[in-house]
């Protein structure tokens, strides 16, 4: 495992790992904005993701099968985002380029997948002047291939318990799930799933929301995160492992995904490129 550190200005410092093209930590005004368990977390399949590029397929799939494609089961036979086809625990190569306004840390991984040759890219475009960056994910394959990209950034905003973080987003619909935890369709977001006026992250969430606006705010006691998504679907997850071990959830994710339900709509035609991006900005309150 190799680490890359970059301090583009006096307010912010970034640390990446080549494993999973992961943004390992962000220090804003000396305070860690991400929750990281330990270095070994990068080496434990089905443990935790900590900032990794999850693709090529993220989501729960019925019977671990999608059309002609079979997957290694996870969560019973429902999910594949930490299966043996995941990139969470695989090394990427990377380059660092500089422009007048930004640094571009470009991670690349290539290989064989579903009888085709794939290319996966995770670009972190870092603003030299402020505490913000853009994460851009890209994927293509020479054969038709399932593709539903996302990234697992675990934010903490410097909080020991993310129950102190208020999440605000314009979402009127939340995904419903059956007894096997498979997504079945959107229903109105009510009660603990209504974040339109802001709601503390006191509950355990592992739910997909459909956004009416691409802007999401997470507001801690001292810091704020503003995320602007390219997609209309976001999965909000509050870390269950730390909640179980320590009695408090230490991190939360905002996983942007194009397809909230895994069906034939996630099949990317040969030669086409899937592109997703999200802008992140940290602010002091």
Any alpha helices (H) in 91-132, and if so which ranges?
none
Evaluate the omega torsion of the peptide bond into residue 56 and state whether it is cis, within 30 degrees of 0.
yes
* % of the chain residues with pLDDT over 70: 94
Residue 45 has which token pair? 């399949």
Instruction: Tell me which of 240 and 64 has the higher pLDDT.
Output: 64
Q: What is the reported pLDDT for 82?
A: 63
Over the stretch 125-174, which tens digit does the pLDDT of each residue have?
999 999 999 999 999 999 999 999 999 899 999 999 999 999 999 999 99
Q: Are strands 116-127 and 273-284 parallel, antiparallel or unpaired?
A: unpaired
Note the residue count of the chain. Answer: 285
Any alpha helices (H) in the chain, and if so which ranges?
240-246
**Cβ-count burial of 62 within 10 angstroms (0-12 exposed, 13-18 middle, 19+ buried)?**
middle
Q: What is the mean pLDDT of the chain?
A: 90
- Residue among 189, 193, 277 nearest 228 (CA): 277
Q: Domain count of the chain?
A: 1
Residue 85: pLDDT over 80:
no
Instruction: Tell me which of 63 and 269 has the higher pLDDT.
Output: 269
Residue 18: pLDDT over 80:
yes
Over the stretch 245-258, which tens digit does the pLDDT of each residue have?
888 889 999 999 99
Identify the bridge partners of residue 233 per DSSP, sorted by sequence position: 210, 257
Q: What is the reported pLDDT for 46?
A: 43
Residue 279: pLDDT over 60:
yes
**Cβ-count burial of 100 within 10 angstroms (0-12 exposed, 13-18 middle, 19+ buried)?**
exposed
d(CA 175, CA 210): 8
At a CB cut-off of 8 Å and minimum separation 6, what does 208 contact? 174, 175, 183, 233, 234, 235, 257, 260
Helix, strand and coil content of the chain, in percent to the nearest 5, comes to 10, 50, 40
Residue 35 · residue 41 · CB < 8 Å = no
Q: Quote the domain boundaries for residue 55.
A: 3-284
Residue 127 has which token pair? 């603003």
Average pLDDT over residues 79-107: 88
d(CA 216, CA 153): 15
- HEC letters along 169-235: EEEEEEEEECCCCCEEEEEECCHHHCCCCCEECCCCCEEEEEEEEEEEEEECCCEEEEEEECCCEEE
* % of the chain residues with pLDDT over 90: 67
Residue 55 · residue 149 · CB < 8 Å = yes
d(CA 152, CA 268): 21
Which letter, b or e, does each residue of 242-281 get, where b requires 16 or more Cβ atoms within 10 Å of its Cβ? Answer: bbeeeeebbbbbbbbbbbbbbeeebbbeeeeebebbbbbe
Residue 47 has which token pair? 């443990």
Over the stretch 194-220, which tens digit does the pLDDT of each residue have?
999 999 999 999 999 999 999 999 999
Q: What is the reported pLDDT for 119?
A: 96
Q: What is the reported pLDDT for 45?
A: 45
């Amino acid at each position: 495992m190799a680490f890359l550190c970059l301090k583009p200005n006096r307010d912010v410092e970034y640390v990446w790992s080549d494993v999973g093209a992961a943004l390992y930590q962000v220090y804003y005004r000396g305070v860690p904005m991400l929750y990281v368990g330990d270095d070994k977390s990068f080496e434990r399949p089905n443990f935790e993701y900590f900032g990794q590029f999850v693709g090529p397929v993220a989501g729960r799939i019925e019977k671990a099968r999608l059309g002609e494609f079979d997957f290694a089961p996870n969560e019973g036979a429902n999910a594949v985002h930490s299966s043996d086809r995941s990139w969470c625990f695989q090394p990427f190569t990377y380059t660092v380029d500089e422009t007048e306004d930004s640094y571009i840390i470009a991670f690349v991984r290539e290989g064989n997948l579903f009888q085709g040759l794939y290319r996966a890219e995770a670009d972190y475009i870092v603003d030299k002047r402020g505490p913000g960056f853009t994460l851009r994910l890209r994927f293509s394959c020479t054969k038709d291939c399932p593709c539903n990209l996302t990234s697992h950034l675990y934010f903490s905003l410097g909080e020991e318990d993310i129950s102190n973080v208020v999440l605000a987003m314009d979402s009127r619909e939340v995904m419903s799930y059956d007894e096997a935890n498979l997504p079945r369709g959107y229903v109105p977001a009510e009660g603990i799933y209504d974040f339109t006026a802001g709601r503390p992250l006191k509950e355990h969430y592992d739910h997909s929301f459909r956004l009416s606006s691409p802007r999401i705010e997470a507001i801690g006691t001292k810091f704020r995160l503003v995320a602007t998504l390219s997609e209309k679907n976001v999965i909000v997850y509050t870390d269950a492992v730390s909640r179980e071990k320590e009695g408090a959830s230490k991190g939360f994710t905002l996983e942007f995904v194009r397809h909230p339900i895994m069906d034939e709509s996630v099949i990317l035609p040969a030669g086409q490129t899937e592109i997703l991006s999200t802008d992140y900005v940290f602010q002091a309150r």
